[in-house]
Structure 1
Amino acid sequence: MNGLLKKSLSCLALGCTFATAPVAQAADAPAMVLVHGAHFTATAWERVQQQLGDRIDSHAIDLPGRNDHFLPEKVSLELSAASLCSFMSTIPGDKVVVAHSQGGAVVNASLSLCPDENISKLVYVTAVAPLDGEGVFSKLSEADETHYFAGVSFNEQAMRMDISNPDSFANSFAQDANAEQQRWLKQQAVAEPALIGEGTIDLNWERFEALDKYYVFAKRDQIISLESQQRTAGDLDLAASFEIDSGHLPMLTHSKDLADLLVQISER
């Protein structure tokens, strides 16, 4: 039994609670599991889910440590991955898992914890996707870090990444957002548990290689630059890739374009 699995089973034995989704009716088409990135919650996917409508049975997870009882210093990459496994176990049938940003690391870590989960495709939306032994942000650049810290500061006492300058945060994460979208962004963005970014991936290679993988590039992203995205995607043996002319939050600024791409990927 690997260390990642031991930690997660220990957490479950202690009675950790995880976000859960309502059980959906089984259908021929796969369900879609939407995993948010740093500083956001399941609400990040609201506009995409509206665009998906009844074309896809979609489920957006709230990862622990944002709007729940978990203290930030207790929220690790392992706990986040265990939460995702618990969430997926409530959704019957085949699944397409879509990860944004830091969510890509959570998804990759989950493959070791629930290797028998019925997943057919992974979709990375301007996301990190660290491989075995790699850190969550190991493929990002100094420029990415500079843009990130323009609006964020490390709260060492609380082990939390705080949004210290909302205007700079919005401009770095979604410089292409209109005024209404920027207002939404500032209202919905939350502090982020810092320990997740310190995690290292224990990847189930056999499971990972068996899955069809797709990457959606955001051409104007300043948090995970296009160069960093390309460096990440180059190691994934992709079935296909796509582009959106957006900043870091295409689910906010280009929700219809992203939803249409997700439907296209689901149907491949």
Structure 2
Amino acid sequence: MDVVLIPGFWLEASSWAPVTAALAAAGHTPHPVTPLGTGRPAAEVAATTLADQAADVVALVDTLPGPVVVVGHSGGGAVAHAVADARPDRVARVVYVDSGPIGDGDVVNAELPVVDGVVPFPGWDAFGPEELEGLTPELRERLEGAALTVPPLVAAGPQRLHDERRYDVPVTVISCTMPEPVLRALVAEGHPYVAELGRVRDVEVVELPTGHWPQLSRPEDLAAAVVAAVGGAARTRAGAP
């Protein structure tokens, strides 16, 4: 199975290294991407949007021969959902790593500060303690040192979706900072935070208790969870139980 991996804000393709290695070992073909405009100068990315990032990934999907699984971490989940919206007949499953889909007109995070025309890593005070779980000082230094800038309209511009067949694409949520019962309760209550997820017809939740960056705090466990989700999608496509 071809697997496209979209990192969250401030990260690039290599952040998926533990997952890509595990996918390859399991016989899958990983395609980690760096979201369009990440780390680029302000003059180049002033007009770059979520839709542009999604279109860039869709172009990759269109080069692949069969069904694909799309994996999105954090803000990359919004891009993954837009890819499923654009190609609902090609995406076998979307895997959200401590993230989820956002609906048409919603934004990822309009509160992130823009500095000199880009969105830099905002510092650790911008995150709650549950998001920082498992991040040692060394891991924090590693993430902060590798952080790249994000185009402003990707953070604060609206999601644009067009095809309700996206709700037929099965989803796995690897939930790191929220227990499954809490997430399910929010969906049942119709909470705006999970309104789009609540419209998806097939949602699997896998708990991976740690902070918001499991690729750093629990890389082997994250890799195993993604491999399991992809394997399930491959078996479903093949008609196996």
Q: What is the TM-score normalised by the length of structure 1?
A: 0.70
Aligned residue number for residue 23 of structure 1: none
Cα distance change on mapping 1:204 and 1:198 into 2, 3 Å = same
Residues 1:58 and 2:30 aligned together: yes
**Aligned partners of 1:34 and 1:60 also within 8 Å:** yes
Corresponding letter in the other structure for 2:53: S
Q: Which deviates the most, 242-251 or 205-214? A: 205-214
Residues 1:104 and 2:77 aligned together: yes
Give the secondary-structure state (helix, strand or coil) at the position aligned to 1:192.
Answer: coil
Give the secondary-structure state (helix, strand or coil) at the position aligned to 1:219.
Answer: coil
**Equivalent-residue separation in structure 2 for 1:89 and 1:190 (angstroms):** 27
2:140 to 160, 182, 187: 182
**Aligned partners of 1:129 and 1:136 also within 8 Å:** no
Residues 1:128 and 2:86 aligned together: no
Unaligned 5+ runs, structure 1:
1-29
**Aligned partners of 2:81 and 2:94 also within 8 Å:** no
Identical-pair percentage: 24
**Equivalent-residue separation in structure 2 for 1:154 and 1:125 (angstroms):** 25
**Equivalent-residue separation in structure 1 for 2:170 and 2:155 (angstroms):** 26
**Equivalent-residue separation in structure 1 for 2:75 and 2:185 (angstroms):** 13
CA RMSD of aligned residues (A): 3.1
Q: What is the TM-score normalised by the length of structure 2?
A: 0.77
Residues 1:73 and 2:33 aligned together: no
**Equivalent-residue separation in structure 1 for 2:145 and 2:83 (angstroms):** 29
1:253 to 217, 223, 234: 217
Q: How many residues align?
A: 220
Residues 1:191 and 2:149 aligned together: yes
**Aligned partners of 2:12 and 2:34 also within 8 Å:** yes
- Any idea what the Cα deviations from partners look like across 1:101-146, whole Å, max 9, x if unmatched? 1112112223444455x21111111113112x331238x9xxxx6x
Greater relative CO (CA pairs within 8 A, separation 6+): 2
Aligned residue number for residue 11 of structure 1: none
**Equivalent-residue separation in structure 1 for 2:126 and 2:22 (angstroms):** 26
